[in-house]
């Protein structure tokens, strides 16, 4: 008879800090407040630039 030892891991993965989701990484303000279009555009441009830089590195 085998004993199945199932470790219940409902929260196996460590939760990422929720601050990253609620606080804007561009202006460090709550995303729920104000207009975030500017910030999202900034973030988008940043990621595009980063991607382009990574490409040039290879
Ligand atoms: Zn922002």
* Per-residue pLDDT at 16: 58
Whether residue 1 is contained in a domain is answered as no
* Per-residue pLDDT at 57: 65
Segments of the chain scoring below 50 in pLDDT: none
Distance 19 CA to ligand 1 centre (A): 13
* Per-residue pLDDT at 26: 86
Whether residue 14 is contained in a domain is answered as no
Whether residue 5 is contained in a domain is answered as no
Distance 46 CA to ligand 1 centre (A): 13
Distance 29 CA to ligand 1 centre (A): 6
Write phi, then psi, for 19 (nearest 5 degrees): -60, -30
Rounded Cα–Cα distance for residues 14 and 17 (Å): 9
Residue-number span of the structural domain to which 28 is assigned: 19-57
* Per-residue pLDDT at 11: 66
Whether residue 3 is contained in a domain is answered as no
Distance 51 CA to ligand 1 centre (A): 21
Whether residue 50 is contained in a domain is answered as yes
Number of domains in the chain: 1
Distance 17 CA to ligand 1 centre (A): 17
Whether residue 4 is contained in a domain is answered as no
């Amino acid at each position: 008879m085998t004993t199945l030892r199932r470790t219940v891991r409902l929260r196996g993965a460590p939760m990422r800090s929720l601050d990253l989701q609620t606080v804007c990484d561009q202006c460090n303000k709550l995303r729920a407040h104000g207009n975030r279009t500017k910030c999202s555009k900034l973030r988008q441009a940043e990621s595009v630039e980063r991607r382009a830089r990574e490409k040039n590195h290879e």
